[in-house]
């Protein structure tokens, strides 16, 4: 059994530190195979790494009362200067295997990986696919209570994928799986239960089919909302750019009204491209909105940075919408430039805040030093 208690996780970077996972509470029963469902970037792989013990939570804990594998197929632990055989032998010994068991593991991985003489060549000469084959076999050469898999069955050609699925099936029953896969067929085939990760939260489903159905329902609703929003936009090329950037990105500058029709025909599209007054479109480097004056105090600088991050987030959402709805190429280019501009402003605001905080620290240090000098006199 695996218990996840009040788990929080986030990654710190220059874009901010939003929670990837927040207040996750799950109990995964022994012998139940679970598929993790969710959109790209939802936190599925992060949760897998936390369960496997390859990452640590910001808060909360993962309690394992079962023997849990490392993620199947992970290649990061192999030593480049050692051969595939030497790597396998080393891991087998680390796992506490005796000589006879070590030999069994080596033979199993060599047969499973199907890389021929390369098994006795340095790993640094391997392709990514060869590494994954060796790592996949090595992961499943040992008996664990729970196997962790992140797209492991996506490695190799069709024959190798079938071989991997067959090996996974042989483990189900004796052990359980916790896996991420873009193939819903594999999830339905190998998993009984599902965990749907949405906006940092995790929802348990006793039936994997119910989890997948819920995910599709939410995904379809989101697409319908986007389509409805776009359907209300005026049918001119410039108005589409204005709607996608101004509404989705909250850009401060305005798009001039275009006169060209955004016809679906090739000729109409070319006419729209020629007639659109590009100088007025936000994101065009020639007329990108001017940078606001930077605040001179720390509280205001923090608020300014937060505003920049929010605008950057919305600009990226607009870019995703434009790509998904296949906006005209030049409109997508304008939006892409707007994202780059927002990112530049965010970085500038962050560095300005750091400079203010450093200046304040320097003043504080000078005051403390002066007090120390006076005390020594």
Chain segment 119-161, per-residue pLDDT in tens: 999 999 998 888 888 988 888 888 889 988 887 666 667 777 7
Structure pTM? 0.57
pLDDT tens for residues 202-224? 999 999 999 999 999 998 888 88
The whole-number pLDDT of residue 204 equals 95
CB of 6 closer than 8 Å to CB of 12: no
State residue 227's pLDDT score: 72
Q: What residue has token string 């205001």? A: 300
Query: Which residues of the chain are modeled with pLDDT < 70?
Result: 13-17, 73-76, 152-156, 173, 229-291, 367-377
Q: What is the CATH number of domain 2-221?
A: 3.40.50.300
pLDDT of residue 17: 67
Cα separation, 229 vs 241, in Å, equals 13
Q: Provide long-range contacts, Cβ within 8 A and 24+ apart, for 268-276.
A: 269/328, 272/236, 272/237, 272/328, 273/237, 273/328, 273/330, 275/237, 276/237, 276/238, 276/241, 276/330
- How high is the pLDDT of residue 278? 39
From residue 345, how far is each of 250, 305, 318 by CA, in Å? Answer: 14, 9, 17
Residues recorded for the chain: 377
Task: Compute φ and ψ for 32, nearest 5 degrees.
Answer: -105, 125
Q: What is the pLDDT of residue 75?
A: 62
User: How far is residue 121's CA from residue 73's CA, in Å, rounded to a whole number?
Assistant: 19
For residue 85 the two structure tokens come to: 């055989």
pLDDT of residue 254: 40
Q: What are phi and psi of 88, to 5 degrees?
A: -65, -45
Residue 178: per-residue pLDDT:
92
> Which residue intervals of the chain are DSSP H helices?
44-52, 84-94, 99-113, 128-140, 158-171, 184-190, 208-231, 237-242, 248-249, 266-275, 298-324, 329-376
Q: 3-state DSSP call for residue 28?
A: strand
């Amino acid at each position: 059994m695996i218990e996840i208690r009040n788990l929080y996780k986030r990654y710190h970077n220059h874009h901010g530190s939003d929670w990837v996972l927040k207040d996750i509470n799950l109990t995964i029963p022994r012998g139940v195979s679970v598929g993790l469902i969710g959109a790209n970037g939802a936190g599925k792989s992060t949760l897998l790494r936390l369960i496997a013990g390859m990452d640590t939570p910001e808060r909360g804990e993962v309690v394992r009362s079962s023997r849990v594998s490392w993620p199947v197929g992970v290649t990061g632990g192999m030593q480049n200067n050692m051969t595939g055989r030497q790597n396998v032998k080393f891991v087998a010994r680390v796992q506490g295997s005796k000589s006879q068991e070590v030999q069994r593991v080596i033979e199993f991985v060599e047969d499973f990986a199907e890389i021929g003489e390369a098994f006795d060549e340095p790993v640094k000469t391997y392709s990514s696919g060869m590494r994954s084959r060796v790592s996949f076999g090595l992961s499943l050469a040992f008996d664990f209570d729970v196997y962790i898999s992140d797209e492991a069955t996506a490695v190799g050609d069709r024959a190798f994928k079938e071989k991997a699925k067959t090996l996974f099936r042989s483990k189900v029953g004796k052990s359980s799986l916790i896996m991420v896969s873009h193939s819903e067929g594999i999830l339905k085939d190998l998993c009984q239960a599902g965990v749907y990760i949405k906006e940092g939260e995790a929802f348990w489903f006793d039936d994997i089919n119910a989890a997948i159905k819920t995910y599709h329902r939410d995904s379809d609703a989101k697409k319908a909302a986007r389509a409805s929003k776009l359907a209300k936009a005026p049918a001119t090329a410039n108005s589409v750019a204005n709607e996608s950037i101004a509404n989705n990105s909250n850009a401060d500058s305005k798009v001039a009204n275009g006169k060209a029709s955004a016809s679906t025909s090739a000729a109409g599209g070319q006419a729209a491209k020629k007639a659109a007054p590009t100088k007025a479109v936000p994101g065009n480097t020639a007329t990108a909105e001017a940078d606001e004056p930077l605040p001179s105090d720390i509280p205001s600088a923090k608020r300014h940075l937060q505003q920049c991050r929010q605008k950057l987030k919305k600009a990226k959402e607009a870019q995703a919408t434009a790509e998904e709805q296949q906006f005209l190429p030049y409109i997508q280019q304008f939006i892409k430039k707007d994202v780059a501009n927002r990112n530049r402003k965010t970085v500038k605001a962050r560095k300005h805040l750091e400079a203010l905080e450093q200046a304040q620290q320097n003043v504080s240090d000078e005051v403390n030093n002066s007090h120390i000098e006076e005390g020594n006199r």
